[in-house]
Amino acid sequence: MRDPHSFDIDYVAHLARLELTSQERERFSAQLGDILQHFAQLDEVDVSSVEPMAHAFPVENVFREDKSEPGLSPERALENTPRKRKNMVQVPKVVEG
């Protein structure tokens, strides 16, 4: 009798462009079966009283206060730049035109 997960293994291997040996197919099929058994156990847990959430922990705004502060001078911002021209970083041409 063919393992019911062998189709899934063959399909995923095809998508990933993998050639699996029969031993790999057998091992991965068993592993997929184990994973699906764990999901089946999770399906048995009653979560009807649990409110859906996007995060396991409360997410709080971690941004700083939005206030204006002095920035870097052009000289300071460009001090580690190997090539600069007119207060700009000069980079090699990447588009032929």
Calculate helix-pair angle for 22-43, 6-15, nearest 10 degrees. Answer: 110
Residue 69 lies in a domain: no
Residue 70 lies in a domain: no
Range of the domain at 32: 6-43
Look at residue 5 in the predicted model and tell me its pLDDT.
Answer: 60
Take residue 30 and report the two structure tokens written for it. 């068993």
Q: Tell me if the pTM is above 0.85.
A: no
Residue 20 lies in a domain: yes
How many domains does the chain fold into?
1
Averages of pLDDT over runs of 10 residues in the chain (97 residues) are 68 92 91 90 93 85 85 93 92 83
Q: Give the DSSP letter string of 15-27.
A: HTT-PPPHHHHHH
List the CATH number of the domain containing 15: 1.10.20
Residue 10 lies in a domain: yes
